[in-house]
A and B are shown apart, each in its own frame.
Chain A
Amino acid sequence: MRRQSPLLVPAGLLLALVVALFDPHALPIAPALAGERWLPARSLFGIARFVSATFAVAGGALVLALPAALASALATHLWPRHGGVTLRRLTLVAGAIPSVVWGFWGLAALAPLLSRWHPPGQGLLAATIVLALMIWPTMALALDAALERIPDSRRLAALSLGMTLGQRLRLVVMPSLRHAATGAALLGLTRAMGETMAVLMVSGNVGDWPTGPFASIRTVTANLALEFAYAQGAHRDALLLSGLMLIVTTTLLFWWGRRLVTNQ
């Protein structure tokens, strides 16, 4: 077993994480999380609205980011050669922009823009757009790698069948990307669900149901960031439990996505 002993480090870290967030004494609170209202002062710890907001905002971000990622991955490959390499580097750089900075942009540029339509502009839509901008680069790089893996023989086959570029993309390239795109989407979803700061800064944080583009929503992560610092007792237990749920959910989604990406 000595050969596997290095595995103890990451395994130990994962264990520490779970141990820190999982407190058996908090378990009795668990059913309360399913409720609708979050009013810690009255011992109401329902996070249903936060969970639905998390899924709404992450799902919406995915819907925006996937086409963007696909287009930019395709542009990387369709661009005459050196342009493509530059584009790829820019994508990498865009993926490194800190989330507070995106949040600041959301407050300073995006929200004022949206507020012309519906003041104050913050809410579900703003958070979705900011999140989409944060997650597309990772997805684009995954799709880019999948495009790269399309073998020359397949490219030549499509060409010699007399397909136009549009037909090659639609009939050969897109089907070749199916797994990778699903995987990339799940990885993007994972990141979107775990993201805190940018969402916190532009989503309004009242905690409405995510029913309209300007609903003032609060995600599970934002709720943690806003309240954990002063939470005590049962309030704190409930927050830790919601954090644990977040880890479990994102990990499961991540695993699914990872399998799709690597099994290609």
Chain B
Amino acid sequence: MSRHDTITRGCWILVGLFPIGVALWLMILLVGQGIPSLSWSFLLDEPVHAGRAGGIAPMLVSTTALLGLALLTAAPLALPLAVWHRTVTDKRARNRHDALIDTLAAVPSICWGLAGYVLLVRGAGFGFSLLAGGLTLGAMILPTLVRLWSDALADLPDGQVEAGRALGLTPFQQALHIWLPASAGSLLIGMLAALARAAAETAALLFTSGYASRMPASVFDSGRALSVHILDLAMNVPGGDQAAAGSALVLLTAVLLFAALLRPKHHSTRKVSL
């Protein structure tokens, strides 16, 4: 490595660290501003004065309920799709599937919100409710979940797929008895990553689960997700910054904990350096 190369390398690494640096700046800022408002009562109390004081308990409950509903919606659809994706030999069908899933994944989230409003809040008569929000969120994360689960199953050695076939099991039996146990870990990670995406979502929830900051009593009640709460505090509540920072810190911590589990798909192994 000549000096000339070392300088080039150093420059690119420095420039390349810059955007990561800004992301770290965001995290440090949030920790700095958010820590003071964190306490048990912040997590366990209801908000007071439009959220300026009190806690975020109803939002945590609503968010959890929304995530649970989204998972209940998406998982039963995503799992068979992922299993099918692993077994199907018809390449054209698989490409078509990939294309559809990618297209769905690229739909702007606010459009899911609009569709949820039209079809669920109004069409099905659920009103602003956790149920409408959860279903919308479920549809929105379906492509992500299918992708992540297909990737998880793709790591299974072909031998196992062949073996299952040789035993005369149907794809679904194979999935149940052989693959799911074998790749339970990566399926779980995939699920958490999809949930992280759901928890980060705001736009799709504005018109489906609504703003109500009361503790929801059932899935037919409107419930304010944590992300919506942050938006409201930051935009509409003068003096809400402190609580917004605290809520954002909670959300960020949860989301990043989930996301940090995800392993990058490709790793350089013994490649010649550039």
List A residues at the B interface (Cβ < 8 Å): 3-4, 6-7, 9-11, 13-14, 16-17, 20-21, 67-69, 71-79, 81, 84-85, 87-105, 107-109, 133, 136-137, 140-141, 144-145, 147-148, 150, 152, 155-156, 159, 164-166, 168-169, 173, 187, 190-191, 193-197, 200-201, 221, 224-225, 228-229, 239-240, 243, 246-247, 250-251, 254-255, 258
Contacts and interface: CB of A to CB of B under 8 A. Distances in A.
A104 B234 CA distance: 7
Interface in B199-219: 199-203, 206-207
Chain B at the A interface: SS class: helix
16 contacts: A4-B96, A10-B142, A87-B20, A91-B20, A93-B256, A96-B258, A99-B202, A100-B231, A108-B29, A137-B19, A165-B4, A196-B109, A196-B203, A201-B234, A224-B110, A247-B108
What are the 6 A-B residue pairs with the smallest beta carbon separation, nearest first? A75-B16, A194-B108, A98-B200, A96-B259, A20-B115, A165-B5
A251 B107 contact: yes
B196 interface: yes
B85 to A, nearest CB: 8
- Counting chain B CB atoms within 10 Å of each CB, the highest count among A20, A101, A187 belongs to A101
A65 B119 CA distance: 36
Given A97-B26, A152-B271, A254-B103, A224 B114 contact: yes
B96 A98 contact: no
A254 B110 CA distance: 17
Given A17-B115, A101-B248, A148-B271, A228 B207 contact: yes
B110 to A, nearest CB: 5
Contacts of B106: 187, 190-191, 194, 250-251, 254
Contacts of B245: 104, 108
Nearest to B102: A258
A79 to B, nearest CB: 6
- Counting chain A CB atoms within 10 Å of each CB, the highest count among B93, B115, B263, B267 belongs to B115
Contacts, number: 275
A134 to B, nearest CB: 10
A223 B2 CA distance: 55
A213 B251 CA distance: 31
Contacts of A74: 12, 16, 274
A7 B114 CA distance: 24
A224 B273 CA distance: 48
B66 to A, nearest CB: 14
B110 A221 contact: yes
B211 to A, nearest CB: 9
Size band of the interface chain B makes with A: 35 or more
B271 to A, nearest CB: 6
B264 interface: yes
Nearest to B227: A100
A93 B265 CA distance: 13
B19 to A, nearest CB: 4
Contact of A169 (B8, B111, B263): B8
Interface in B260-274: 260, 262-268, 271-274
A164 B20 contact: no
A196 B29 contact: no
Interface stretch (B42-50, B76-84, B151-159, B178-186): B76-84
Given A68-B18, A84-B268, A148-B271, 20 more contacts: A10-B97, A10-B103, A10-B146, A11-B100, A13-B104, A14-B104, A90-B23, A91-B20, A93-B256, A94-B23, A99-B203, A104-B248, A108-B241, A165-B9, A187-B106, A194-B111, A224-B110, A228-B207, A246-B108, A258-B102
Contacts of A17: 107, 111-112, 115
Contacts of B119: 16, 20
Nearest to A132: B19
B108 A6 contact: no
Contact of B272 (A14, A152, A193): A152
B8 A103 contact: no
B139 interface: yes
A90 B101 contact: no
Contacts of B104: 10, 13-14
A72 B29 CA distance: 22
B111 A243 contact: yes
Contacts of B166: none
B227 A98 contact: yes
Contacts of A10: 81, 97, 100-101, 103-104, 142-143, 146
A87 B202 CA distance: 28
Contacts of A147: 274
Given A92-B259, A194-B108, A68 B19 contact: yes
- Counting chain B CB atoms within 10 Å of each CB, the highest count among A75, A144, A166 belongs to A75
